[in-house]
């Protein structure tokens, strides 16, 4: 259908086919070589029926919105290519250095060097000591970050934490007395209210565009947790991480993406509300990762469920309501199961707050942490039911989750030597050295063991293993399932616990 003919561009890739999603407003170029202080805005807004003056808001926002330049350095990667009999012969005429899967029309592993990549996005200063909010997709994979202020001062920045689930990131520069934006309450926004979008579209620094709030609590399937503010203020590539600001100069959203069939603005921009941002930023600042509570259900907007039944020529039950979240499945041992939720139930309230759609449910739960209580109200066969439960984290408990440090392994690793790769017929791997007390020793890994993959991902660089440890430590099952090989050539499998 035409409405699904939408294009998404995210991270550092350009996707030409149309898919359901959003166009992240990040401008790219390529080269070959623990609380946030909320300030009250004092400027009054024009009365109804009078022209809206946006000059005050623009002046406040321009000072606090920065340009974020990212650099991904050139890297060597191993890729699979179709075997070429001519190049196979001239590079290895006797087949000494191949493996059984190379040559003869099969696949061949080759090392290629990726070009240096540069990206440009935006960010918002939220504290005078240098904390800046931006999008995760702006900084993901960056080796270098440079922040430029409106007055052209430049700072190197470091990543404090990222949250791909909401597409938010917190970075910091070493500076004092920086201009900030007061943080407003996005829940109080009204459809039709005037706002400005501030950022650096197409590298055009310090750009302000104006529009209105077109809709609230939009879900477009781009992030794991989303409740977007929709606006018709122009958002383009480079606006990612910029500010959505009210006429009285309050930050109410972080611009993130746009809907477009052309890659450029067409009237539909989306921002992450401060109602989601505030907790994510506070957690990243305090813990380095988000303390996320889970309800333990899969669901969809009730009207989506009804439309799906109609599309499949099925009878539509009388759910007793037209709004709410349809429960499609319930995870064992989750908060939803503890409440007694079942497939087919309709969630209508959380803590007494009316829930009309999934985005609203996600926003409410996002602002809770493991150990918090939530009162769930739902309909089953048109009968209202309610229960208060304790929310848990992804690992099924209420403990504070922190990213495991690489040191938890209790050993060093190095990329396997060319000589050993040739001897064992492998093209990559990480060899374990100096095993001491830690997860490797507990899991039976000793000096010399070569890690080939962890949790089904190839381990080509030390950074690959660092990322695997981080992901595993925050997962439901904090274990690294490792496939490796001993110097003798024997393949072995290990399960390494990286978190309690």
| Residue reference for tokens 């007793």 | 320
pLDDT tens, residue order, the chain (500 aa): 433 433 333 333 333 332 233 445 544 433 333 333 333 333 444 455 557 889 999 999 999 999 999 998 877 666 666 655 555 444 444 433 334 444 445 566 666 777 888 899 999 999 999 999 999 999 998 899 999 999 999 999 999 999 999 999 999 999 999 999 999 999 999 999 999 999 999 888 889 999 999 999 988 878 888 889 999 998 888 899 999 999 999 999 999 988 777 766 667 899 999 999 999 999 999 988 899 999 999 999 999 999 999 999 999 999 999 999 999 999 988 899 999 999 999 999 999 999 999 999 999 998 899 999 999 999 999 999 999 999 998 888 888 877 766 788 988 999 998 889 988 999 999 999 989 888 999 999 999 999 999 999 999 988 889 888 888 887 878 899 999 999 988 999 999 988 76
371 vs 394: CA distance, rounded Å: 12
Domain 297-390 classification at class level:
mainly beta
Is residue 303 annotated as a catalytic residue, yes or no? no
Is residue 167 annotated as a catalytic residue, yes or no? yes
Q: Which among 205, 214, 227, 240 is annotated as catalytic?
A: 240
Closest CA to 181 of 150, 153, 209: 150
In the DSSP assignment, the letter for residue 464 is H
For the chain, the helix, strand and coil percentages under 3-state DSSP, each to the nearest 5:
20, 35, 45
What is 406-497's CATH superfamily? PDZ domain (2.30.42.10)
Is residue 137 annotated as a catalytic residue, yes or no? yes
Q: What is the pTM of this model?
A: 0.72
Same fold, 297-390 and 406-497: yes
Q: Which among 88, 167, 248, 301 is annotated as catalytic?
A: 167
Residue 399 burial (10 A CB sphere; 0-12, 13-18, 19+): middle
Closest CA to 70 of 22, 135, 130, 15: 135
In this structure, the dihedral spanned by the alpha carbons of residues 132, 295, 187 and 137, taken in order and rounded to 10 degrees, is 30
Task: Tell me the CATH number for domain 2-70+118-287.
Answer: 2.40.10.120
Q: Which among 27, 67, 88, 137 is annotated as catalytic?
A: 137
| Residue reference for tokens 């650096």 | 200
C-alpha atoms less than 13 angstroms from C-alpha of 458 in its C-beta half-sphere? 11
Q: Where do the structural domains in the chain lie, given as residue ranges?
A: 2-70+118-287, 76-113, 297-390, 406-497
């Amino acid at each position: 259908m035409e409405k699904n003919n939408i294009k998404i561009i995210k991270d550092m890739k350009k996707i030409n086919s149309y898919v359901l999603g959003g166009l992240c407003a990040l401008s790219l170029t390529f080269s070959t070589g623990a609380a946030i202080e909320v300030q009250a805005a004092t400027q009054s807004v024009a009365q109804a029926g009078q022209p809206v003056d946006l000059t005050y808001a623009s002046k406040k926002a321009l000072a606090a919105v920065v340009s974020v330049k990212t650099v991904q350095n050139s890297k060597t990667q191993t890729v699979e290519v179709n075997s070429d009999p001519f190049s196979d012969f001239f590079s290895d005429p006797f087949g000494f250095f191949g493996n059984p899967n190379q040559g003869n029309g099969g696949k061949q592993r080759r090392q290629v060097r990726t070009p240096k990549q540069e990206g440009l996005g935006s960010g918002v200063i939220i504290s005078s000591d240098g904390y800046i909010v931006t999008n995760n997709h702006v900084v993901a994979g960056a080796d270098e970050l440079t922040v430029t202020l409106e007055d052209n001062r430049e700072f190197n920045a470091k990543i404090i934490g990222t949250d791909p689930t909401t597409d938010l990131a917190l970075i910091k520069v070493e500076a004092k007395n920086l201009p900030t934006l007061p943080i407003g309450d996005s829940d109080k926004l009204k459809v039709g209210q005037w706002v400005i979008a501030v950022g650096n579209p197409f590298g055009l620094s310090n750009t302000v565009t104006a529009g209105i709030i077109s809709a609230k609590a939009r879900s477009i399937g781009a992030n794991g947790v989303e409740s977007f503010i929709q606006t018709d203020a122009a958002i383009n590539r480079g606006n990612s991480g910029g500010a959505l600001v009210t006429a009285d100069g309050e930050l109410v959203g972080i611009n993130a993406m746009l809907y477009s069939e052309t890659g450029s603005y067409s009237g539909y921009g989306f921002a992450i509300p401060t109602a989601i941002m505030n907790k994510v930023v506070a957690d990243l600042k305090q813990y380095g990762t988000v303390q996320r509570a889970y309800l333990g259900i899969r669901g969809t907007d009730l009207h989506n469920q009804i439309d799906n039944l109609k599309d499949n020529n099925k009878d539509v039950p009388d759910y007793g309501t037209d709004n709410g979240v349809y429960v499609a499945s319930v995870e064992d041992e989750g908060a939803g199961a503890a409440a007694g939720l079942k497939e087919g139930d309709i969630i209508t309230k959380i803590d007494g707050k009316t829930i009309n759609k999934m985005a609203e449910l996600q926003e409410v739960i996002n602002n809770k942490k493991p150990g918090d209580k939530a009162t769930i109200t739902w309909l089953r066969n048109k009968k209202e039911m309610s229960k208060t439960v304790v929310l848990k984290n992804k690992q099924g408990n209420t403990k504070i989750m922190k990213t495991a440090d690489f040191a938890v392994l209790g050993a060093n690793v190095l990329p396997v030597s060319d000589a050993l790769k040739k001897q064992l017929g492998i093209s990559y791997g990480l060899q374990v050295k100096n095993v001491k007390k830690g997860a490797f020793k507990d899991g039976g890994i000793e000096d010399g063991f070569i890690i080939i993959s962890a949790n089904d991902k190839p381990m080509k660089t030390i950074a690959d293993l660092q990322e695997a440890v981080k992901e595993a430590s925050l997962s439901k099952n904090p274990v690294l399932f490792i496939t490796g090989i001993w110097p003798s050539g024997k393949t072995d499998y290990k399960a390494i616990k990286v978190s309690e």
